[in-house]
Structure 1
Amino acid sequence: MTSSSQTPTPLLHLSFNQDYTCFAAGLPSGFRIFNSHPFRHLFHHTFTPEPGGGISLVQMLFRCNILALVGGGPHPQYPPNKVMIWDDHQSGCIGELSFRSQVKSVRLRRDRIVVVLVRKIYVYNFADLKLLHQIDTFENVNGLCEVSHVDGEMVLVCLGLRKGEVRVEDYGRRVTKLVKAHESGVVCVALTNDGRLFATASSKGTLIRVFNTLDGSLLQEVRRGAERADIYSLAFSTTAERLAVSSDKGTIHVFNLKVDSGALAIERSAGQNIGSPPVVSHLSFMKGVLPKYFSSEWSVARLHLNEGLQYVVGFGHENTIVILGMDGSFYRCEFDPVAGGDMTVVECHNFLNPSDEPYPDEP
């Protein structure tokens, strides 16, 4: 990684787009967008005059020019209780959504905008910003919520109303499932792009569980470690064959998943028959102690980075993983899905360091 005497710009936010091909950084003075593979700066916007311009949330919509922005930091560009729809072609906002409390996260689909507050989730139609649905949740300070991104009706995963409970909204089947994922609080969730699987981690941070969204059944349990840890990020590969995990221990883990995606696709297709009744069933799965025959499995590949630093993980091409650090670090690593072992770092940058990545002048 290139060293520099300059103090790096503090990050307020860091996230991938829906397929890990890009990532966004929220800064005290604006935002920056990068390409993941190959690594390069795409565009950025610096708000003036200083010291304003803080952006605490940046949500991309694949690779298009539309972003969702939320102000934050010591000098926010926008109120933290508003979601601003930004068109980078126009270098300005084309719409906004206002709320009574701070916005914790935003999720975008081509047809929906999902806004997460501490105890509420709102679902809007993207075309006209019409409110379609609202959900009450358990206290959600991390803004946990994920949505599917393939064409068709949306699957949404969020917190339920009780500690350790996850709610699955299957809008195509018009079914709600409540899944008892953990005894302790849920601190991280991930959802496959097709909405078939979701993964959860609890405040203990030792076990990660993978569930079927169709019926809430537990499909697999993997073990990050034996000691308690704060899980920062969970990510499925695009094929749902692997799961990546980052924690405050500074170790990135990759797990092989034993899920028959074809069988799940057939199962979900059968469940979406036109004749299916429009029911909403509030069921709680996995009550009490989990069956002992669910043996937890260890990761196939791992990488040791800086302990205590927050990392966001995503998958790249073939057997590669992309890791983003809140210190501005970018890693691309290769792993062997069969032999496993330590990952190999094949690319490393500091995306906040101008000497490491040239930034063009503002248009």
Structure 2
Amino acid sequence: MNTQKSLQTSALSKEPKLLNVAFNQDQSCFAICSEKGFQVFSTYPMEMKMERDFTLTGRRLTHDEETGSGHWKEADTAVKSSTTGIGIIKMLYKTNYVALVGGGKKPRFPLNKLCIWDDLKEKNSIILEFTTPILNVHLSRTHIIVLLKNMVLVYSFKLKPDLIFSFDTIDNYSGVSDHAITENSSILVFPCRNSGQLHIVDILNKKKNSSEGDEDKKTVSLIKAHKNPIQCVCLSPSGKMVASASDIGTIIRVHDTRSCALLYEFRRGLDNAIITDMKFSPNGMKLAVLSDKNTLHIYHVYGDEVNGKNKTHILKDLPLFPNYFKSTWSFVSKDVGNKNDVINDVGTLGWADDESVIIIWKFRGIWEKYDIIINNSIEHNKGSRWQIVKEGWRSVC
């Protein structure tokens, strides 16, 4: 996914309430960060699970005369911290570890320093420093993955991380990448050195060799996904499919990560747009796409008579017509923007379940839930069988 999409502001617009939003590996929780610190919520129902406000450091270690040990106590007068902003946050499932990179007007940490924060101990447990700013991060129980402007670095997850793999990339200022973890694989996708191409790496691929025993090997594949630079990518939960969009934003392509074969080609629209986020449903059968036009599109990845099919043009089977008429469109879509916004808000996608999409908006700082339901108000042959309904919203900050 594109986690570092630049936010264009105008003189009349306010600053975004959230600097970054990220769902955890199974989309059961999401983390937000801001100029003050970070928070972690359950996806649905939305409940706060963790909070760290760096603006107040009013805690001090006091001595207990009875036990002879020290313990934390709230100070009588809170001390204000001058460096509080977090620009990137990533969770490790539902553990107490989160990856933090400084950001905002007063960064808590330098932009080139990755801190693995242990919230139980209330301190950094692992620190990695680089010569250039960090643009994206991914975590697993065994690896720490760091994206720089034109490099991807894979480290072991331990107190003193070892560099395992490194890959050169095209200039990737938005940190475009995604990571999918299963029991037998750890699939990483990012742009390679050629524009429009994707690098697929299994960093946890274990193959049995009769002569050498168990040996760790990395599997690397290249996919020629688009002619233009890659704008956004996402992996299915199984890691078997990768969806991608270029900076043109009219076509979304889904490839097999093992064979690199093109599985599906979906059309978002006719005019150009910036795809701000994409996310597969937990069962991998639907793909949600959000653009800077604030239109939410849902595609069936496996269409059948039960689940329904994506839309096609009535003239698709006629010869000599342009490819536009042969396109496959989303089976349902909805305008989820706010007309009162001075500028378009930027949303991050997640799924509460296989029929419910979550959007976290950065500028407004709100959580919204949209349900995909059967449209009973019209006959199937006169309109869409499906519709997207806004189920509710809440503020996250």
Counterpart check, 1:241 vs 2:278: no
Pick one of 330, 335, 347 that aligns with 2:372: 335
Q: How does 1:1-363 map to 2 (within 5 A)?
A: 10-48=17-55, 49-127=80-158, 128-171=160-203, 172=205, 174-258=218-302, 295-306=326-337, 308-326=344-362, 327-336=364-373, 340-352=385-397
Aligned residues: 316
Q: Structure 1: 5+ residue runs without aligned partners? A: 1-6, 261-291, 353-363
Give the CA deviation at 1:9. Answer: 6.9
Distance change in 2, residues 1:164/1:174 (3 Å):
same
Give the CA deviation at 1:29. Answer: 1.4
Which string of whole-angstrom CA distances, capped at 9 and with x for unpartnered residues, describes residues 244-279 of structure 1? 01111011111100389xxxxxxxxxxxxxxxxxxx
Indicate the structure (1 or 2) with the bigger Cα radius of gyration.
2
Q: Name the % identity.
A: 31
Give the CA deviation at 1:226. Answer: 1.1
**Alpha-carbon distance in structure 2 between the residues aligned to 1:81 and 1:9:** 22
**Alpha-carbon distance in structure 1 between the residues aligned to 2:327 and 2:351:** 23
- TM score, norm. by length of structure 2: 0.76
Contact 1:104 1:117 (C-alpha < 8 Å) held by counterparts: yes
Give the CA deviation at 1:328. Answer: 0.9
CA-based RMSD of the aligned residues comes to 2.2
**Alpha-carbon distance in structure 2 between the residues aligned to 1:318 and 1:258:** 13
Structure 1 residue identity aligned to 2:38: F
**Alpha-carbon distance in structure 1 between the residues aligned to 2:181 and 2:327:** 29
Structure 2 residue identity aligned to 1:258: Y
Contact 2:32 2:38 (C-alpha < 8 Å) held by counterparts: yes
Q: Structure 2: 5+ residue runs without aligned partners? A: 1-13, 56-79, 206-216, 305-322, 339-343, 376-383
Distance change in 2, residues 1:75/1:63 (3 Å):
same
- TM score, norm. by length of structure 1: 0.82
**Alpha-carbon distance in structure 1 between the residues aligned to 2:262 and 2:374:** 23
Which string of whole-angstrom CA distances, capped at 9 and with x for unpartnered residues, describes residues 176-221 of structure 1? 2111110111000001222111010110111100000002111001
**Alpha-carbon distance in structure 1 between the residues aligned to 2:303 and 2:133:** 38
**Alpha-carbon distance in structure 2 between the residues aligned to 1:294 and 1:166:** 27
Which string of whole-angstrom CA distances, capped at 9 and with x for unpartnered residues, describes residues 286-338 of structure 1? xxxxxx69943111122212262111111112411111111212111111379
Structure 1 residue identity aligned to 2:365: G
